[in-house]
C-alpha cells in the first residue's frame, strides 16, 4: 500500500530524477506517517545520563534479579518503531498485544547487562544482590526519567539515571492480558497498522536509540566487580 501510494504521488512529478526523488520521499513520509517527528527526534537526540558508584557488587554466574516499579506506560528507546507487537499466550492459545522489544527502553537497557548475567524478574526479595528499575514520567506524560540502582546487603550500591526518555502513557501492554480485547485495543491496533511496516522498521532500527549506551557501559564496568 505504501509503495503504491508513493508511486501514485511520484506520477505528478515530471523528469526521471525528480520522479525518483519524489518516490523515495513519499516512501519515507508515508512509511513513517505520524512517527515522522519521532524519527526526527531520534535522529537529533543526544542522550545523556549520570551515574555514581558507592560500592561494587559481584558479577553473577546466575541471573541478575531485578524489580521494577510498574507505571501505566512504556519508555521507548526507538520511538520510530511501533510500541506494541503481536504475542502469543499458551494459556488461552490466543494472540495478544505485548511490548515491542525492538522499541522498548527496558529491553535495550537489560540487554546491556547481558555481559554480567542474564536478567530476569526478581523471584526472591531476600536475594543479596539485585537491580531496581524505576520509571518516573514527567507531568506532561511525554517523557520520563529512568533510574537503575544496584543493591547489596547495605542498600543502594550504585545508581544510573537518564532523563528525557520518550514515554508512551496508557499502555495496556504493561500488564498483558490474554487476547487482544484490552482497554487500549484501538490505540494498539492503530499503532501496528500505521507503523508496523518495513520502512518504519528499517529507519527506526538504523537510527541510534535514546539509551545512553556509552554511559551505561561505563556504569556497568564501574559498578560490578571484574
Write out the DSSP string of 29-42.
HHHHGGGHHHHHHH
In a domain, 15, yes or no: no
CA–CA distance, 26 with 5 (Å, rounded to integer):
8
In a domain, 177, yes or no: yes
CA–CA distance, 174 with 135 (Å, rounded to integer):
12
In a domain, 40, yes or no: no
In a domain, 38, yes or no: no
In a domain, 42, yes or no: no
In a domain, 72, yes or no: yes
pLDDT value at residue 1? 57
pLDDT in tens, the chain (226 residues): 555 654 555 566 666 676 676 666 666 666 667 778 888 888 888 899 999 999 998 877 666 667 776 677 789 999 888 888 777 766 666 777 777 888 889 888 888 887 776 665 544 556 778 888 888 988 888 899 999 998 888 989 999 999 999 998 755 444 444 455 566 677 777 777 777 777 888 887 888 899 999 999 999 999 988 7
Q: Which residues contact 204 (CB under 8 A, 6 or more apart)?
A: 35, 39, 42, 78, 79, 80, 81, 102, 103
| C-alpha cell of residue 184 | 487500549
Q: Which residues contact 111 (CB under 8 A, 6 or more apart)?
A: none
CA–CA distance, 33 with 17 (Å, rounded to integer):
24
Domain that holds residue 181: 47-197+208-223
pLDDT value at residue 175? 45
CA–CA distance, 144 with 161 (Å, rounded to integer):
11
- At residue 222, what are phi and psi to the nearest 5 degrees? -80, -30
Query: How many domains is the chain built from?
Result: 1
Burial 89-108 (b: 16+ CB within 10 A, else e): eeeeeeebbbbbebbbbbeb
pLDDT value at residue 5? 58
In a domain, 83, yes or no: yes
Nearest residue to 215 via CA among 175, 166, 158, 132: 158
Q: Which residues contact 177 (CB under 8 A, 6 or more apart)?
A: 96
Amino acid at each position: 500500500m505504501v509503495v503504491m501510494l508513493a508511486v501514485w504521488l511520484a506520477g505528478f512529478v515530471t523528469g526521471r530524477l525528480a520522479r525518483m526523488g519524489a518516490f523515495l520521499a513519499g516512501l519515507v513520509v508515508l512509511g513513517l506517517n505520524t512517527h515522522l517527528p519521532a524519527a526526527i527526534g531520534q535522529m537529533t537526540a543526544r542522550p545523556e545520563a549520570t551515574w555514581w558508584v558507592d560500592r561494587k557488587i559481584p558479577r553473577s554466574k546466575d541471573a541478575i534479579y531485578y524489580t521494577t516499579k510498574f507505571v501505566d506506560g512504556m519508555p521507548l528507546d526507538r520511538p520510530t518503531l511501533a510500541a506494541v507487537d503481536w504475542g502469543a499466550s499458551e494459556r488461552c492459545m490466543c494472540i495478544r498485544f505485548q511490548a515491542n522489544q525492538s522499541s522498548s527502553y527496558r529491553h535495550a537497557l537489560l540487554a546491556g547487562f547481558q555481559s554480567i548475567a542474564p536478567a530476569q524478574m526478581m523471584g526472591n526479595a531476600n536475594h543479596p544482590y539485585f537491580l531496581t528499575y524505576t520509571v518516573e514520567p514527567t507531568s506532561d506524560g511525554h517523557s520520563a526519567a529512568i533510574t537503575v540502582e544496584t543493591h547489596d546487603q547495605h542498600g543502594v550500591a550504585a545508581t544510573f539515571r537518564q532523563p528525557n526518555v520518550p514515554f508512551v502513557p496508557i499502555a495496556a501492554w504493561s500488564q498483558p492480558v490474554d487476547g487482544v480485547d484490552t482497554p487500549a485495543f484501538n490505540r494498539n491496533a492503530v499503532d501496528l497498522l500505521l507503523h508496523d511496516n518495513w520502512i518504519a522498521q528499517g529507519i527506526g532500527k538504523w537510527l541510534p536509540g535514546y539509551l545512553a549506551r556509552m554511559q551505561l557501559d561505563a556504569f556497568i564496568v564501574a559498578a560490578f566487580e571484574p
